[in-house]
Amino acid sequence: MLKMYQVDAFTQDLFKGNSAAIIVLNEWLDESLMQNIALENNLSETAFLKATAKDSYHIRWFTPTDEIAFCGHATLASAFVLFQENPDLNEICFTTNSVGDFYITQKTDGKIVMDFPVRLANILTDIPQGLIEALGTSPKALYVNEQAYILEYEHAEQVLELQPDFLQLKTVCLNAKETDGLSKDVVVTALSHQEGYDFISRYFAPAIGVNEDPVTGSIHTALAPFWSMRLDKSELIAYQASTRGGVLYCKQLSKQRMQVSGYAKLYMIAELFV
Q: Which residues are catalytic?
A: 45
The pair phi, psi for residue 40, each rounded to 5°, is -65, -40
Question: Angle CA(244)–CA(15)–CA(74) in degrees, nearest 5?
Answer: 80
Give the type of residue at 193: H
Q: Which helix (H) or strand (E) holds 104?
A: strand 101-106
Of 30, 72, 25, 18, residue with least CA distance to 48: 25
Residues 27, 51: Cα–Cα separation, whole Å:
9
Q: What's the distance, Cα to Cα, between the start and end of the chain in Å?
A: 6
Which residues does 235 contact at the CB level (< 8 Å), separation at least 6?
249, 250, 251, 252
Q: Say how many C-beta atoms besides its own lie within 10 A of residue 133's C-beta.
A: 12
Cβ–Cβ < 8 Å for 3, 23:
yes
Cβ–Cβ < 8 Å for 242, 15:
no
Give the single-character DSSP code of 207. G
Residues 57, 139: Cα–Cα separation, whole Å:
40
Instruction: Let me know if 110 is exposed, middle or buried by CB neighbors in 10 A (0-12, 13-18, 19+).
Output: middle
